[in-house]
Amino acid sequence: MIELFFSQILNGLAIGQVYALIALGFSLVFGVSNLINFAQGALFMLGAFFAFSGVTLLGLPLWVAAIGSIALVTLLGMVLEGVALRPLENGPYIAPVLSTLAIALIVDQLAEIIWSPEGQAFPLPFDEVTFFIGNAYFTSTDLLIFVFGGLTALALTWFLASSWMGRTVRATAQDRDAAAQMGVRTGDVRRLAFALAGTLGAISGILVALYFKSVFPQMGMPFSLKGFSAALLGGLTSIPGAVLGGMLLGVVETLASAYLGEGFRDLAAFSLLLVFLLFRPQGLLGDRRLDALGGASGASGPMPSTSLLASASSQRASHPIWEIPPWGFLVCGAVLSLLPLVTQNGYFLQAVVYAMIFAMLSASVSLVSGAMGVLSIGHAAFYGVGAYTVAVLAHTYGWPAELVLPAAAIVTALVATISALPLYKLSGHTAALGTLAIGQIGFLVFMTWLPVTRGPMGFLNIPAPQFEWLGGLRLATIGQKYWLVALVVAVGLFLAQRLVNSGIGRVWRGMREDRLAAHAAGLPVRRYMLLGFAVSGALAGSAGGLFAYVQSVISPDSFNVQVSMLVLTMAVLGGLGNLTGAALAGFVLAIVPELLRSFAEWRMILYGVILLIMLRWRPYGLLGAR
């Protein structure tokens, strides 16, 4: 038993080195540009695939292929800064973040086209050897990863501490304006930080390929989330903290996998992240008084904002807002309900049904992220709770639709309210990362709670909605389900808009601008925050319930982090806090991919390009942020 424990510790330290390298890339970019770089996972994936292609297609030795891969990805890191950040410097904070997300979507889909979606074996350049310390063991691959990862971290630490360029990086991270006044070219420093992030991403990608002996195009997002979590555990603004956080995360994961089961590996990791966010949001070695890369106190700098959107709040008035009145949603629902009378094309009707569902889901995200200012990166968990509530009650217990749909809204509202409790004391980036942790925990619960959710298998043949109180009316065809979706979505958006326009909505916006001032004014901030999450959860749960009824089949993959980011993108492009814009963006951006299914390989690339163009053209959203 003790031997197993020490073996897992050794394995955890090896994979933890990889997480540490990814975390270092996040820390560098965040420190210099105050940006969460979601494209770091794409750079990680490209590093692995470039090395793989060099070995398998060009017949190069691994070390030569690795050097070429690192050089290419380093260059791409610099290109990323020019595409994702520089053109959006004067826009809202969220614009460059979503720009990196759009680039990640494009790169991941291109990788599937070039290298195929299937995983491929990564050739080891040596025969693997197992070393024993007593009865505990580790492999030569573990040793290689540990040594190279450690040397890379030490080299980066030396560079930042002892070189002139490294000191400019630290100075820019501490106070960009002061560094510029001292003659530092902060634009070049930011480009250098992205280049170093690319270098670290490529190295970590190659080491992961060696560790798992395989590469696949979808490997970027899961490992980037782990690296991001490691950076936050150690201290998002601390280089030694990133290394320590990576080690801690690797050890916790391997121990959970060994003693609880493989399915609990990720659940333990994100639960640990949530605990740290609650009790030590600055991480193990982070300090709110210190600059981004371990420099001196930045007491003279600006106070941290209570919202990721607060930096743009003063500019909102200059961006016109267009919204329809609450009754306008009822009119739109009535007009859309005429569509089945015009066409019986089942595929087209189903595409419009999904578009209406995503319109309501996007509005639910906009309510929290815009009206309240808590950027939600895990909203797909609430969407999934509604869907699984319908699946369990309708499939397992045979409840009628008039009870199931309200139950989906109520259960999800309750779950969202409970989830908001730990977020009350968090703000800014930590609140956003808290929603990310909650979203990942929700997804992993769907994957592992076999007696209720059936795990990866999900639910098949969810019965069509049947209303016992209406004489047993059963909505079996897509045309019949269409009317149910139009009714629920229209009423849900009508009620949400009424709330946003009321005094409650004004309180939410006041909390977004300055939560501390709202509290000092005697407003019950916690109560209003919980109410906002409850309303948002009810909307998301209703959307999930409708999705389950329409789809008839659900599985955890429909509620992963990619869905959360997709819906957040819709809300931002419509205009955060603007329910009309969010609903319109959700409708359009959901229906376009459905209508382009014949171009399945290219539609996500097209989606990413549209997102990049929109962020340049209308960074505050199509209809303006509220």
pLDDT given at position 296: 36
Is 227 in contact with 25 (CB distance < 8 Å)?
A: yes
Residue 612 has pLDDT above 70, yes or no: yes
Give the pLDDT confidence score for residue 308 in this predicted structure: 46
Give residue-wise pLDDT tens across range 264-306.
888 888 888 888 887 887 788 865 543 334 433 333 333 334 4
**Does the CA dihedral 268-376-26-515 come out positive or negative?**
negative
Pairing of strands 214-215, 136-139: unpaired
- Interatomic CA distance for residues 389 and 405, integer angstroms: 9
- DSSP 8-state assignment for residue 554: B
**Cα(374)–Cα(433) distance, rounded to whole angstroms?**
10
Q: Give me the chain's average pLDDT, please.
A: 84
pLDDT of residue 316: 47
Residue in 20, 16, 439 with CA at minimum distance from that of residue 235: 20
Rounded CA separation 536/192 (Å): 40
Q: By the 8 A CB rule, do 383 and 439 touch?
A: no
CB 235 within 8 A of CB 77: no
Weakest-pLDDT range from 130-139, 376-385, 395-404, 426-435: 130-139
pLDDT at 125: 79
Does an H or E element contain 136, and which? strand 136-139
Q: What is the DSSP letter of 576?
A: T
- The whole-model pTM stands at 0.86
- Burial level of 485, CB count in 10 A (0-12/13-18/19+)? buried
pLDDT greater than 80 at residue 620: no
416-453 exposure pattern, b = at least 16 Cβ within 10 A, e = fewer: bbebbebbbebbbbbbbbbbbbbbbbbbbbbbbeeeeb
Using one digit for the tens of pLDDT, what is the confidence trace for 114-141? Answer: 998 888 999 887 777 777 776 666 778 8
Q: List Cβ neighbours of 503 (8 Å cut-off, separation of 6 or more).
A: none
**Pairwise CA distance, residues 563 & 559, whole Å:** 6
Most confident of 358-362, 461-465, 507-511: 358-362
Higher per-residue pLDDT: 527 or 139? 527
Model pLDDT, residue 294: 41
Summarize the confidence of residues 388-412 as an average pLDDT.
94
Return d(Cα 280, Cα 537) in angstroms, integer: 27
Q: How far apart, in whole angstroms, are the C-alpha atoms of residue 352 and residue 350?
A: 5
pLDDT of residue 84: 76
Dump pLDDT digits (tens) for 171-186: 877 777 787 777 778 7
Can you give the pLDDT at residue 535?
Answer: 96
Name the token pair of 79: 């290109």
What is the token pair recorded at 238?
Answer: 């601390």
Q: How confident is the model over 239-265, as pLDDT tens digits?
A: 888 888 888 998 888 888 888 877 788
DSSP symbol at 126: S
State residue 86's pLDDT score.
78
Least confident of 24-38, 46-60, 469-483: 24-38
What tokens appear for 340 in the block? Answer: 């089945």
Whether 241 and 248 have beta carbons less than 8 Å apart is answered as: no
| pLDDT score of 598 | 63
Assign residue 461 a region: left if phi > 0, alpha if psi is -120 to 50, beta otherwise?
left
Burial (CB count within 10 angstroms: exposed 0-12, middle 13-18, buried 19+), residue 598 = exposed
**Element (H or E) spanning 474, and its range?**
strand 473-474
